[in-house]
Structure 1
Amino acid sequence: MLQKKKETILRTLRTIVRVMNYLGLALILFILTVYIGIWGALPSKADLTEVSSYKPSQIFDINNELIGIYYLNNRVPVSLDSIPQHVVHALIATEDARFYDHNGVDARSALRVIVKSLALQDASSGGGSTLTQQLAKNMFDRKNLSFLTLPVAKVKEMIIAQRIEKLFTKEQILELYLNAVPFSGNTYGIESASLKYFGKSAIDLTVTEGATLIGTLKATHYYNPQRAPARSTQRRNTVLNQMAKYGFLTVDSLDILKKEALELDFNTYDEQQGVAPHFRENLRQKMVAWCKENSDSDKPFNLYTSGLKIYTTIDLKMQRLAETAAQEHMQKMQSQFESEYPASKAPWRDKKTVESKLKQLKSYQKLKAKGLIESQIIDSLSIKRKMKVYTYDGYKKVRYSTIDSLEHYLRFLNMGMLAINPQDGAVSTWVGGVNFEKFKYGHIESKRQVGSTFKPIVYATALEEGQSPCQYFSAREVSYENYDNWSPSNSDQADYYYQNVSMTGALTRSLNAVSVKILEKTGIEKVIAMGKKLEIKSTLPAVPSLALGTAELSVKELAGAYAAFVNESKPVKPYFLSRIEDSNGKMLEEFKPKNKIKPAFSENTRQTMITMMESVIDKGTGKRLRSTYGVRMDVAGKTGTTQNNKDAWFVAVTPTLVAVTWVGHDDHRIGFRSTRVGQGANAALPIVAKFLRKIERDTSFDTITKTKFKPMSNDVSVAMDCPDLVRDGFLKRLFTNPEKKKTKNFKKKN
């Protein structure tokens, strides 16, 4: 009996040994199949070297401050020397205490990990992964192989880890790891994470800040310091405990550090968000084209992996102030715009407008491509579901249909604002719209009718043609028979029935009737020629309404032309790209402004126009700049409002800055209901006014805000010494019917 038991035990043991041998052989064969690439090729030495060198391109402002990043993954690589030692200690103590003792795979836990992965399909088996294995995982995506995905991936990562250890030193592996590892918020690398959560470079991280970031690696979403500060703090303290356990912290310092509060300085460089998103997209398009035309060792540069350093003329601090000013005003402006319309007459709910916009949507076109008829498509797009919509108070959860969402966004006004240095055209601020994520179309280079902001060009041409700033014109309306009895009128026309207005007075009050008369006397072709001298490339229509700004120009074009009024009569071409360097700081290309040397008009004309436009600000259509917003610096400028209140404009000119703003609706069919709300002085001027007031309060901009216009010459002062208005004499008033329009033909000069 005893003998039989012994034989049974022996047979069982032999069976177990045989099974173990088979399992061992199967494991070896499985590892071999992974090694030879049956489950997908393993990366070569060249692959490992190339992937490890991927670097995003960085965008810098005029003061070398980081504006944004172009990346495949949001990471900014830095050398190990630029990472504090305490961050490295936190990483090793928490993730791989035996890092310096293994060759990429920790033999103690490797078998446990493989068995758990193969036998149990346990995703948590990653506890045995070394830093080098984690690096391998981060560098190469896992291929979906159904139930074999996890075991194949684990074996691959072990093999790759050992190859990495042969190629790189331990210090290089730490550098690669800290530059590639994913942190919270889709951010890769310690530098990007540091910039995002603490607003500083990694080298400046404190012990607790570094421990906070390392702590998120266990579960980046769960321990996100912005979304879950309490959990993040708890995890940080665990990291600090580990550092003390392995001798990287003393017990006394541990107790002190664990009591520190979590303080974030959150920033974002995401393409949809962050500072200057419309500008960054415009720059991205230009850089993609540049990369195609330029190469490194016969291989074209890659904007997302070549690590280019792109230096711009943008002033990041000023840009943030401009964006804040725009958001503050546009929120108020949106409310005014919507409140003017009764719900039944709201243009964003107009059936024809909504239907035409609906047909442009991809969702509509997809349903149509499937063969659905119009009514079926409308029914489908009328189904309500949960979604988030943008508002000025943040994103709001709603139950909207696609049509509801379309109407919601169709109500939004938009804007564009550009500020440049008039001496060379360097762009300081670029605000392309109210929200990049929902309104990607930028409004700096798009064209709209410019309204009365074109009048200074007409008046400057008139002065060049010998007209005097003290020449008077009747302010009465005229009906031009050869232009279908077109009759340009002034606002508050009754105030000017018996008035004659000087050029200064007409520009100050933006009188349409007088501006057309000045254009007629000057000659349309002369004004068009002046536009070309001012680097306006857009077509200027050869019609009398040109005086009122029916030409369609861009914000950028107008800014370059207005620069002539403070740049020795020379226009500029706005530019924003300063230089491009490679990842090592080697200059690849430098960009210089390409501006005309020849003045567009005389110095006397320039001085006269600045004085006229100062009058616009001090007592004319732009006086809100001072009376409402309290701007004190020297400013000249011009407001602009187009027909049917579709577009509102304002241009501010200072000795060192030209700022142009447009406000309106992307859809030309939708405009302001009244001039009271839609005029440039109300809809556009406040953005520039708020912006200028903000930089006035910041002493770092004193060189801009405290610079004065040069005084007029004696000749110009004498030439402008006259009242703005001269009333008709008694007899003329007696025998003139002010309400009867004079009829004539508009005379075109050759």
Structure 2
Amino acid sequence: MAKAAKKEKRSFLKYIKWFWILFASGILFAAMLFLLAGWGAFGEMPTFERLENPQTNLATEILSSDGKTLGKFYLDDNRTPVPYDSLPENLVNALVATEDARYFDHAGIDARGTLRAMIFLGKKGGASTITQQLSKLLFTKKPSGGVERILQKVKEWVIATRLERQYTKEEIIQMYLNQYDFGYAADGIRSAARIYFGKEPSQLRTEESAVLVGMLKNSSLYNPIRREELVTARRNTVLGQMAKYGYITEQEKDSLQALEMDLNFNPESHREGLATYFRMYLQKFLNRWIEENPKPDGTKYNIYLDGLKVYTTIDSRMQRNAEEAVEAHMKNLQAEFFHQNTPERNPTTPFVDLEQSEIDNIMERAMKNSARWRAMKRQGKPESEIRASFNEKTEMTVFDWNSDSYEKDTILTPLDSIRYYKTFLRTAMMSMEPQTGHVKAWVGGVDYKHFQYDNVIQGARQAGSTFKPFVYAAAIDQLRLSPCDSLPDTQYCIEAGKHGNPDPWCPKNSNGKYSGERMTLKKALANSVNTITAQLIDRVGPGSVVNIARGMGLTREIPEVPSIALGTPDFSVFEMVGAYGTFANQGVFVKPVTVTRIEDKNGTVLYEYVPETKDVLSKDVAYAMVNLMEGVTEYGSGARLRHSWAKNQTVYKEIITGYPYELTNPIAGKTGTTQNQSDGWFMGMVPNLVTGVWVGGEDRSIHFKSLTYGQGASMALPIWALYMKKNYADEELGVSKEAFEEPEALSINVDCTKILEEIKEDVDTEDDLDDLDF
């Protein structure tokens, strides 16, 4: 018995010995794994410096003057970090409750969770802590197999313990949420909150935070845009976890789970969102700035990776008002254009009054300027093959005003798609504060995704009658004329050889008639009387007009010939708004500005704008010009801003959204229409805002046949009116309704009260206005 007991005791001690040997070996093996992982035996490990400064690609953020994000520049990562104190408590609670309930109690590795995962083989939940998930995001690549996955897990453990030593719990949560890819270019929690819910992270409601935390399991699988039911169920699971751990009550859980998922999807791609045309202009601006301003070490900044902050002058509210005004009017105007340009009514549609050979030349140029032609040319394709490809039908998505998304899928040949796009009228609009030059709104077209040519700054078209104020300014400045001075409305010719004119020049009025009366300058400009404009440029000379125009920022070539008086030179909306700002700013030209400051990711100022100004006109002359242009909106071609004559006229109800406008505050402006109604302009001013609008076809041969539809007062003015009505509806914008400031001791007589009363009696129908714009 004693021997048996002794033997049994030795066996037991043997088992105990082997248990401790195996246990110690396991500990040593684990320790060795950790040491080898820490030494980099299983692959590169982050250095101390990398742990202090994790390498992430940061998008450049574009900020509006009212503190909103207009968009971002990024390649793969649309990431803008936010600090921990900008994360709502409900988001942090949802994250901890769902992903790591003991997060604040462990040092990077959850022993209980790890043991549970090993015993149940992960069937009752994983063991990965928030810190481990961060280490996986930051420093490890996706494993290719089982062994590699085990080794990566070891590396994650090592990195997690290092992260816990280097950072606070709050900093780790901040880094994790800023790093995670939520899909649809939503890199990090700020992009996710903006893209899926249209708000900043701090504004997220509990149920919205639950959606985003639910996506952390697998953002591709649990994506609310693609799988709403699945994501709603996952959201409810997160809410259940929050209730389980006491972050919300059972009653709150039940009420939140009953809610429908209220998404507000705002994709942040380069071709979508607010101010797309402006953002593309800004991209070119930044690329030029980068070339001229290297980093201290001589390398160049990268707008896609370096996390710059660009502070712009654009006001997001005014920008939205501008885009909505353009959309509302252009949709109606385009419908009327399609109605008038059917093949039955116009066999050469969309071109008007062209021979087939002229149409062929236009299509040939368009084909050779297309992206398809250039791409195939770069590939070395022969011209015959390139041309043949333009006649092969292909599936494509095209712009369409009549669909909800303004897109439709169709099958067209590339050549037919070129003709299709030429049927659409184009537009441009820019709004600027004249005292500072700050550009407040910028709309370069109807839809950047399909019309990428920016008509604000890339396009230049004939200015028409919107150039006449420069002629009047030169005359008032040099001849000391007054808006109340008068000239005869009779045929007027400038003889050949005078002012460099090769042939006699005898301009006609738009209606082909001459009243024979003496007409005040105020009435002449309001009615765009060409004969009086010709007399003025004859008296001051084209050179004087060109000098004033150049001083006011019109930098394009202006030939010194009398015909410029009627607006034959081409200008961009950008230039014209800057120039008109001189009138509103008491004769001081302020160069339009779009960027006020650029900072690096640490907040260091890299660029700060210095205003560029120039005294061009005296205060008296500038005020006299404003007074002249107020006549345009009081009883001239812009008078429909104030009156309701067209209230019951079908023609205007069809194309002019929001009419009648019935604006009552002081407004100075000028309409403009070029030959054959190819271009319609309206330049409108109140004391603290100058806005220019242009509407026309891609080619000058694309236009309305009649002046009724094709004049600036019908094509462009309604956009200005809609925009201003929206601005006035938001009193926080502070857009002026006051009178323009009159200089002290004004030396130019602008009180033409008696004469104005007579004119107002003469103009009492909308038909009268149709003849006033050209």
TM-score under structure 1 length normalisation: 0.82
Q: Which deviates further from its counterpart, 367-376 or 578-587?
A: 367-376
1:173 aligns with 2:172: yes
SS at match of 1:465: helix
SS at match of 1:639: strand
* 1:472 alignment partner, one of 476, 487, 504: 487
1:694 aligns with 2:726: yes
Instruction: In structure 1, give the amino acid aligned to 2:595.
Output: L
1:424 aligns with 2:436: yes
**Deviation of the 1:159 alpha carbon:** 1.9
1:159 aligns with 2:166: no
1:463 aligns with 2:476: yes
**Deviation of the 1:212 alpha carbon:** 1.4
2:612 alignment counterpart: 594
Q: Does the C-alpha gap of structure 1 residues 706 and 254 become closer, same or farther in structure 2, counting only changes over 3 Å? A: same
1:189 alignment counterpart: 188
* Cα distance in 2 between the residues matched to 1:255 and 1:621: 62
* Cα distance in 1 between the residues matched to 2:391 and 2:281: 35
Instruction: In structure 2, give the amino acid aligned to 1:519.
Output: I
Q: Does the C-alpha gap of structure 1 residues 85 and 719 become closer, same or farther in structure 2, counting only changes over 3 Å? A: closer
**Deviation of the 1:391 alpha carbon:** 2.1
- Unaligned 5+ segments in structure 1 are 1-26, 728-750
**Deviation of the 1:61 alpha carbon:** 2.0
Q: Which deviates further from its counterpart, 460-469 or 371-380?
A: 371-380
**Deviation of the 1:257 alpha carbon:** 2.5
Q: What are the equivalent positions in structure 2 for 1:257-276 lying under 5 Å apart?
A: 257-276=256-275
Equivalenced residue count is 690
SS at match of 1:704: coil
1:659 aligns with 2:691: yes
Q: What are the equivalent positions in structure 2 for 1:210-359 lying under 5 Å apart?
A: 210-226=209-225, 228-292=227-291, 293-295=293-295, 300-343=300-343, 344-347=347-350, 350-359=359-368
Q: Does the C-alpha gap of structure 1 residues 545 and 39 become closer, same or farther in structure 2, counting only changes over 3 Å? A: farther
1:563 aligns with 2:581: yes
Instruction: In structure 1, give the amino acid aligned to 2:186.
Output: T
* Cα distance in 2 between the residues matched to 1:161 and 1:271: 39
* Cα distance in 2 between the residues matched to 1:60 and 1:347: 40
Q: What are the equivalent positions in structure 2 for 1:363-374 lying under 5 Å apart?
A: 363-368=372-377, 373-374=382-383
Q: Does the C-alpha gap of structure 1 residues 511 and 191 become closer, same or farther in structure 2, counting only changes over 3 Å? A: same
* Cα distance in 2 between the residues matched to 1:60 and 1:31: 46
1:59 alignment counterpart: 62
1:635 aligns with 2:649: no
* Cα distance in 1 between the residues matched to 2:384 and 2:320: 47
* Cα distance in 2 between the residues matched to 1:501 and 1:130: 84
* Cα distance in 1 between the residues matched to 2:289 and 2:439: 20
* Cα distance in 1 between the residues matched to 2:740 and 2:363: 49
Q: Does the C-alpha gap of structure 1 residues 136 and 397 become closer, same or farther in structure 2, counting only changes over 3 Å? A: farther
1:80 alignment counterpart: 84
SS at match of 1:475: coil
* 1:573 alignment partner, one of 591, 596, 599: 591
* Cα distance in 1 between the residues matched to 2:296 and 2:396: 46
**Deviation of the 1:47 alpha carbon:** 4.7
Preserved contact between residue 34 and residue 155 of structure 2 (Cα < 8 Å): no
- Unaligned 5+ segments in structure 2 are 1-29, 644-659, 760-774
1:449 alignment counterpart: 462
Q: Does the C-alpha gap of structure 1 residues 90 and 154 become closer, same or farther in structure 2, counting only changes over 3 Å? A: farther
**Deviation of the 1:210 alpha carbon:** 0.7
Instruction: In structure 1, give the amino acid aligned to 2:259.
Output: E
* 1:683 alignment partner, one of 703, 710, 715: 715
* Cα distance in 2 between the residues matched to 1:499 and 1:313: 47
1:490 aligns with 2:493: no
Preserved contact between residue 573 and residue 595 of structure 1 (Cα < 8 Å): yes
1:384 alignment counterpart: 393
TM-score under structure 2 length normalisation: 0.80
2:649 alignment counterpart: none
Q: Which deviates further from its counterpart, 397-406 or 372-381?
A: 372-381
Identity of aligned residues (%): 36
Q: Which deviates further from its counterpart, 455-464 or 205-214?
A: 205-214
1:414 alignment counterpart: 426
SS at match of 1:440: coil
**Deviation of the 1:575 alpha carbon:** 0.8
* 1:397 alignment partner, one of 387, 406, 409: 409
Q: Which deviates further from its counterpart, 565-574 or 707-716?
A: 707-716
Q: Does the C-alpha gap of structure 1 residues 543 and 46 become closer, same or farther in structure 2, counting only changes over 3 Å? A: same
**Deviation of the 1:142 alpha carbon:** 4.8
Q: Does the C-alpha gap of structure 1 residues 434 and 48 become closer, same or farther in structure 2, counting only changes over 3 Å? A: farther
* Cα distance in 2 between the residues matched to 1:668 and 1:112: 75
2:72 alignment counterpart: 69
Q: Which deviates further from its counterpart, 99-108 or 375-384?
A: 99-108
**Deviation of the 1:659 alpha carbon:** 0.6
Q: Which deviates further from its counterpart, 131-140 or 619-628?
A: 131-140
Q: Which deviates further from its counterpart, 342-351 or 311-320?
A: 342-351
Q: Does the C-alpha gap of structure 1 residues 506 and 126 become closer, same or farther in structure 2, counting only changes over 3 Å? A: farther
Instruction: In structure 1, give the amino acid aligned to 2:411.
Output: R
SS at match of 2:336: helix
**Deviation of the 1:35 alpha carbon:** 9.1
Cα RMSD between the aligned structures? 3.8
Preserved contact between residue 629 and residue 670 of structure 2 (Cα < 8 Å): yes
Q: Does the C-alpha gap of structure 1 residues 130 and 275 become closer, same or farther in structure 2, counting only changes over 3 Å? A: same
* Cα distance in 2 between the residues matched to 1:164 and 1:613: 70
Q: Does the C-alpha gap of structure 1 residues 354 and 220 become closer, same or farther in structure 2, counting only changes over 3 Å? A: farther
Preserved contact between residue 38 and residue 158 of structure 2 (Cα < 8 Å): no
1:707 aligns with 2:707: no
Q: Deviations over 1:114-171 (max 9, x none)?
A: 9xx9xxxx9x99966544454345446857x9xx478647744652563254144343
Instruction: In structure 1, give the amino acid aligned to 2:366.
Output: K
Preserved contact between residue 566 and residue 654 of structure 1 (Cα < 8 Å): yes
SS at match of 1:428: strand
Preserved contact between residue 473 and residue 517 of structure 1 (Cα < 8 Å): no
Q: Does the C-alpha gap of structure 1 residues 289 and 164 become closer, same or farther in structure 2, counting only changes over 3 Å? A: farther
* Cα distance in 1 between the residues matched to 2:154 and 2:288: 40
Preserved contact between residue 501 and residue 726 of structure 1 (Cα < 8 Å): no
2:769 alignment counterpart: none
Preserved contact between residue 105 and residue 162 of structure 1 (Cα < 8 Å): no
Q: Does the C-alpha gap of structure 1 residues 271 and 635 become closer, same or farther in structure 2, counting only changes over 3 Å? A: same
Preserved contact between residue 419 and residue 430 of structure 1 (Cα < 8 Å): yes
Instruction: In structure 2, give the amino acid aligned to 1:364.
Output: W
Q: Which deviates further from its counterpart, 54-63 or 474-483?
A: 474-483
**Deviation of the 1:507 alpha carbon:** 0.7
* Cα distance in 2 between the residues matched to 1:604 and 1:208: 61
Preserved contact between residue 524 and residue 532 of structure 2 (Cα < 8 Å): yes
Preserved contact between residue 67 and residue 269 of structure 1 (Cα < 8 Å): no
Q: Does the C-alpha gap of structure 1 residues 153 and 324 become closer, same or farther in structure 2, counting only changes over 3 Å? A: farther
**Deviation of the 1:280 alpha carbon:** 1.8
1:531 alignment counterpart: 549
* Cα distance in 1 between the residues matched to 2:261 and 2:379: 53
SS at match of 1:527: helix
2:370 alignment counterpart: 361
Instruction: In structure 2, give the amino acid aligned to 1:491.
Output: S
1:743 alignment counterpart: none
* Cα distance in 2 between the residues matched to 1:369 and 1:488: 49
Q: Which deviates further from its counterpart, 632-641 or 268-277?
A: 268-277
* Cα distance in 2 between the residues matched to 1:28 and 1:381: 68
* Cα distance in 2 between the residues matched to 1:675 and 1:150: 76
* Cα distance in 1 between the residues matched to 2:196 and 2:318: 22
Q: Does the C-alpha gap of structure 1 residues 35 and 677 become closer, same or farther in structure 2, counting only changes over 3 Å? A: farther
Preserved contact between residue 109 and residue 160 of structure 2 (Cα < 8 Å): no
2:445 alignment counterpart: 433
Q: Deviations over 1:664-707 (max 9, x none)?
A: 23445544444333221111111111111111222223x42322
**Deviation of the 1:591 alpha carbon:** 1.7
